Amino acid sequence: MDRHRLCGALREARVPPGLYELPDCPGPPGLPRAEDRLYLEERSGEWVVGVMERGVRTVLERFPDEDRACRSLYARLTAAGLPPVPPTPEEAATLLHDADGIQRRAREQLAQALRTTHRPPEPESEPEPEPEPEPGQGPSPGGAPGGGTHGGCAPG
């Protein structure tokens, strides 16, 4: 995909043109651009996807080619992104031939990721239960343990 196809794909997906800025993809005449928007541009032989916020451009991702940059921007501007590109017959044959190796490497990468990110769980502190009163030793109705007044009256 190139920026011209991206422009058409974004229009087809009904993404408001004010939300993005693409080279050679003008929005409708008279439409003001949003102050904050995503952009795509070529810089020194690489493609960047970035965000313009309050007039400041910030690069979010860098890509070696226009296709990957366009797909990234499309995915950011739409919920689903583009469907994946099916593998070539050669890639499919390699995948089928090396299925065991692919699974082994995936298991190794998962194990490594679990080892590097595993932290022992922090102990949870539970509130200490209040001791139950012994039979006949509960708080008195006046609120003072072990004595006090009954119903606010002095014994007598």
What is the chain's length? 156
Residues 6+ apart with CB under 8 A from 117: none
Please say if the pLDDT value at position 81 is more than 90: no
Q: What is the pLDDT of residue 67?
A: 95
Please compute the mean of the pLDDT values over residues 87-116 and round it to a whole number.
84
**Distances from the Cα of 38 to the Cαs of 6, 56, 87, 95, 132, in angstroms?**
13, 11, 29, 35, 63
- Quick: pLDDT tens for 17-76: 888 999 888 776 666 666 788 999 999 999 999 999 888 899 999 999 999 999 999 999
Q: What angle do CA 95, 67, 79 make, to 5 degrees?
A: 85
Amino acid at 77: L
How many CB atoms neighbour CB 73 within 10 A? 28
- Quick: pLDDT tens for 103-139: 888 888 888 878 777 654 455 555 566 666 666 665 5
Q: What is the pLDDT of residue 62?
A: 95
d(CA 48, CA 6): 14
How many CB atoms neighbour CB 61 within 10 A? 13
Q: What does DSSP say about strands 37-43 and 56-63: parallel, antiparallel, or unpaired?
A: unpaired
Amino acid at 143: G
d(CA 8, CA 83): 16
Amino acid at 117: T
Nearest to 74 by CA among 155, 5, 146: 5
